[in-house]
Structure 1
Amino acid sequence: MTALRERFSASWERRLEAQDRRERVRARQLHRWRTRRHRRRFAALVLAGNLLTIAAALVAHRQIPWVFAALWIGGLVVWMAGFTLLRVLSGRMSTAFSELLDEREREWRHRANYAGYQAFCALVLVGFSYLMVIADTADAAYRGAMMLAALMVVGLSVPTWVLAWSLPDDDLEDFIEPGTGEESDV
């Protein structure tokens, strides 16, 4: 049993080190965009993608499948672009293991996750209400599943959205390469 624990512990340490390396590389990317103004623009982009997927779920039952497909795929592409950029711009708070974060970063992330949990609960209630309204219609299960999928995407993006909206601007001095006194080009 001890050998198994040692292997698990070594594997965990390797994962922490790999994640820390990835986060250090990501922390140097897009440093001039790490302002509240830029993050809020991308938060609006995420919201637009969310609204497109909800619109797609609302028209899922129509007999025009290309409208649904265009809205759904377009919404997911817009959402994914904004969401990915927000995760980079909000720093490692949204992706790193708790062990790699300092107390301030952990506190910000816990606040955002709690807001996300509350929003997710509210969205589940919205989804159930929608299901109750459409229960007696044709394709109610399909329409409900599409709406729940769209609301799940919204709920999953709330913590990153909250972090992006509320974080203060990063200090540009943090992006100066050690020993050179110059900003990194990444």
Structure 2
Amino acid sequence: MSEERGRLAAYWERQLERLDEIERKRALRLPTWRTRKRRRTLSVLVLTGNLILIIGAATFRSQPSTLFVVCWFGGCVVAGGSHYLLRILTGKMSGGFSLRLDEREREWRHRVTFVSYQILVVLMLIAVFYSLIIADTEDGGVRGAMMACALLVTGTTLSGVILGWTLPDDDPEDFDEGVAPA
């Protein structure tokens, strides 16, 4: 039993080291974008992409129309690409383990996670009510599932959006000393 535990602990340490290495590489990307203005722009783009996804889900029918396809894939590209860049700019706070964060970062992350969880719950309630309203229409189940999917994607991107909107600018001294920002 202890040998198995030792292997699991060693595996866990290797995973943490791998994630730290990825974070060190990611922290060096886009150094000129690490401003509040850029993060806020990306936050707005993520929300815009999510809104496009929701519009696509609302227009879904049994035979997908051109509007649905454009909205669904366009929203995925806009929201997905912006969210990826936003995660790079918010650093380990948006994707790292809580143990690896300092107290300030942990406090930001917990606050943002709680707020985004509450909003996600409200979005899922909206999806339930939407599904109930359209239940008697043609393909109501599939349309409700598409809306739930769009709202779930929106809810899962909210923590990064809130972090991107609220984080202050990085300290310029971090760049002068050669230390990568978090």
Instruction: Bin the TM-score by the shorter chain.
Output: over 0.9
> 4+ runs of 1 displaced by more than 3 Å?
none
- Whether the aligned pair in 1 keeps the contact of 2:98 and 2:106 (CA below 8 Å) is yes
Letter in 1 for 2:144: G
Q: Give the match for residue 148 of structure 1.
A: 148
Q: Give the match for residue 137 of structure 1.
A: 137
Shift of residue 66 of structure 1?
2.2
Shift of residue 62 of structure 1?
6.9
Q: Give the match for residue 4 of structure 2.
A: 4
Unaligned runs of 5+ in 1: none
Shift of residue 176 of structure 1?
3.2
- Whether the aligned pair in 1 keeps the contact of 2:50 and 2:79 (CA below 8 Å) is yes
Q: Give the match for residue 73 of structure 1.
A: 73
Q: After superposition, what is the alpha-carbon deviation per residue over 1:126-184, rounded to whole angstroms, capped at 9, x for unaligned?
A: 11111111111110001000000000010000100010010000012212354xxxx98
Q: Give the match for residue 174 of structure 2.
A: 174
1:55 aligns with 2:55: yes
Q: After superposition, what is the alpha-carbon deviation per residue over 1:97-119, rounded to whole angstroms, capped at 9, x for unaligned?
A: 11211111111111111011001
After the TM superposition, which residues 28-177 of structure 1 pair with which residues of structure 2 at under 5 Å, given as runs?
Answer: 28-61=28-61, 63=63, 65-176=65-176
Distance 1:64 1:57 in 2: 10
Letter in 1 for 2:108: W
Letter in 2 for 1:89: L
- Whether the aligned pair in 2 keeps the contact of 1:54 and 1:147 (CA below 8 Å) is yes
Using a 3 Å threshold, how does the CA distance of structure 1 residues 15 and 63 change in structure 2: closer, same or farther? closer
Distance 1:87 1:21 in 2: 16
Q: SS of the residue aligned with 2:72?
A: helix
- Between the two proteins, what is the percent identity of the paired residues? 48
Q: SS of the residue aligned with 1:80?
A: helix
Say what the alpha-carbon RMSD is for the aligned residues: 1.5
Distance 2:62 2:52 in 1: 16
Shift of residue 63 of structure 1?
4.9
TM-score, normalisation: structure 1:
0.92
- Whether the aligned pair in 2 keeps the contact of 1:36 and 1:164 (CA below 8 Å) is yes
Letter in 1 for 2:133: V
Letter in 2 for 1:19: L
TM-score, normalisation: structure 2:
0.94
- Whether the aligned pair in 1 keeps the contact of 2:62 and 2:139 (CA below 8 Å) is no
Unaligned runs of 5+ in 2: none
